[in-house]
Chains A and B, each alone.
Chain A
Amino acid sequence: MKSARFVEVSRAGPSAVVAVLITLGLAIFLAAAPRPFGPVAEPWLHACVIYFWTHRRPSMMPPLLCFGAGLLADLITGGPIGLWALSLTGLSLAARVTRPMADSQPWPKRLGYFALSLVFMILVASIALGAAGVSGGAPLPGMALHALTTLIIYIPLESLLAFIAGRVGLRRGAL
């Protein structure tokens, strides 16, 4: 007998799974790509993508996938292994919790919930860095700058991802 999660993914269709994986992979690689105009605080694209898909359909963004995406980000960027894995998993958890409240809200409120989730993610990262004793802990001003650019880019990116979700027939679902 097929498990509930498998049925859920099957209902969404393979094109939806492919869309989720491609957007996530692309976001991870783009987040690590060289910036065209010098050193600026780049947005955390992968965080936007994970938050969006978790809101759209939580079953499409299971915790293990978030963990794997974070691990890949850690390995590509050369940062402490486990940091992005933990941060993105924390963000996914926050997205699941805020989902019933943020659903069908106007964009400023949605952005507010995304900001809350990002704050939760930064807190998780800071606590983890401190607990693990990684050099110097988390540089909070730098993280705040990155979070700000992530917030700025979220709304246009959300529209783009919603368009992709519509094209692959992935409507808002309970799970």
Chain B
Amino acid sequence: MVESSEWRSRRGWTTAVYALVAVAALLLLVLDRPGSRPSVLDDIRAHTGDWAAPVMSAVSAPIRGLRSIFGGASDYWAAVDENRELRQEIAQLNQWRDLALSLRDKVRAYESILDIPGVDAADPIGAWSVADASGPFVHARLIDAGWDRGVREGHPVLTERGLVGRVVVVGHNSARVLLLTDLNSRIPVMTEDGEARALLTGDNSSAPRLEFVNRDAVLEEDERIVTSGDGGLLPRGLPVGQAAPASGDAWRVRLYSSGDPVDMVWVYPYDPIMTPEENPVPQSERLIESAEREARAEAARLAGEAAAESVEAEAAAEEEQGETAGTGAANAQQAGQGG
């Protein structure tokens, strides 16, 4: 009887703990909604990432080894065919390289003529993807590079094939990358010719949707989709994937980065372009800058006038010299004839 009451009280206690734990978990879920998430939760995530990155790196090392063994074996059998294909590809790529180099020079020349600032191409930061959280609830990755190596929130992350996502949480030695396929991912994209612009929206499937495609645009299957740079959050022109028709009039994007395991990634440092409202130039600064610009223009005008005057003076002097020399020559000729 005593044992039975103890059993009952124990069972009641366990039920109470379950209820408490469920309430606590629900509260955390409500707090962690993207719109109303307190920054402390992001800090906790970043710290956990820092702490977990070395452990995850150690855990994923054998998996990476396994992949390289299997990959190595299959590569070995396909080496001869691959070699032949690569040679052909190199020959084709050499032509493309020449074209690219000539176009680069041309673009640089145009940029300097039109005074257009070029895109700052900072060195990419290489990192290993150490944790892969591509489950039904979230599509994210943990990479082993963080603030200390220059990674910042919002930076785009690419594999050798194309864009995989952007950094959402940064720790000292690690960062969390939200993949393009995640439910919360929204990236402005366009076709390579810039005619069709849309929003690439993740829905936890392997091919994200294209939403808000502009009405007049005509999309074609397999058309290259790149980042549009709209909103200034991502640079323009990063390769994303190819357009693929879905049911109805909908379009999806077959990502370049999908299919292969994402292992080594590159973070591209990029300073987002701030909107004027977020970073307004103070009135005093604007006045100073305007005065400086006027002063520079005045100085340039004066310098130009001075240069023109000096050129005129030089020309007059040369003319005078020429006339003197001409008179001397004529006199000499006359003297010669007289003699």
Quick check: is A156 within 8 A (CB to CB) of the other chain?
Answer: no
Q: Is the CB of A81 within 8 A of B204?
A: no
C-alpha gap A26/B141 in the complex (Å): 18
Q: For the complex, give the distance between the alpha carbons of A142 and B18 in Å.
A: 27
Chain B, residues 259-278, CB within 8 Å of chain A (1/0): the string is 11111000000000000000
Selected interface stretch from A10-18, A71-79, A109-117, A164-172: A71-79
Q: Complex formed: what's the CA distance from A89 to B327 in Å?
A: 112
Using A78-B138, A89-B22 as known contacts, say yes or no to A63 and B52 having CB atoms under 8 A apart.
no
Instruction: Name A's interface SS.
Output: helix
Collect the chain B residues with CB atoms within 8 Å of residue A62's CB.
Answer: 14, 17
Verify B48–A32 contact, CB threshold 8 A: no
Known: A76-B48, A129-B29. A81 touches B63 (CB 8 A): no
Contact in complex: A78, B176 (CB < 8 Å):
yes
- Minimal beta-carbon separation of A97 from chain B (angstroms): 11
A77: chain B residues within 8 A (beta carbon): 131, 133, 135, 137-138, 140
A120 at the interface (CB under 8 A from B): no
In the complex the two chains form, what is the Cα distance from A94 to B18 in whole Å? 11
Q: Which of B133, B140, B169, B263 has the most CB of A within 10 A?
A: B133
Interface centre among A33, A70, A93, A136 (most CB of B within 10 A): A33
Kindly state whether residue A152 has any CB partner on chain B within 8 Å: no
Number of CB contacts from chain A to chain B under 8 A: 176
**CB-based contact B133/A81 at 8 Å:** no
State whether B176 touches A86 (Cβ < 8 A). no
Could you tell me if B259 and A135 are in contact, using CB atoms closer than 8 angstroms?
no
List of A residues within 8 angstroms of B33 by Cβ: 80, 132-135
Q: Which residues from A are CB-within-8-Å of B30?
A: 132-133
Chain B residues near A162: list those with CB within 8 A. none
List residues of B whose CB falls within 8 A of some A CB: 6, 10, 14, 17-18, 21-22, 24-34, 41, 44-45, 48-49, 52, 55-56, 59-60, 63-64, 66-67, 70, 129-138, 140-142, 168-169, 176, 178, 183-184, 203-204, 206, 258-263
Q: List 28 A-B contacts (CB under 8 A).
A: A33-B63, A34-B130, A34-B131, A36-B64, A36-B66, A37-B261, A62-B14, A66-B21, A76-B133, A76-B142, A77-B131, A78-B45, A78-B138, A81-B29, A81-B32, A81-B44, A82-B27, A83-B29, A83-B137, A85-B21, A86-B22, A89-B21, A129-B29, A132-B26, A132-B30, A133-B33, A139-B136, A139-B203
In the complex, given contacts A34-B141, A78-B49, A78-B168, what are 5 additional A-B residue pairs having Cβ atoms less than 8 angstroms apart? A4-B10, A32-B142, A62-B14, A80-B32, A138-B136
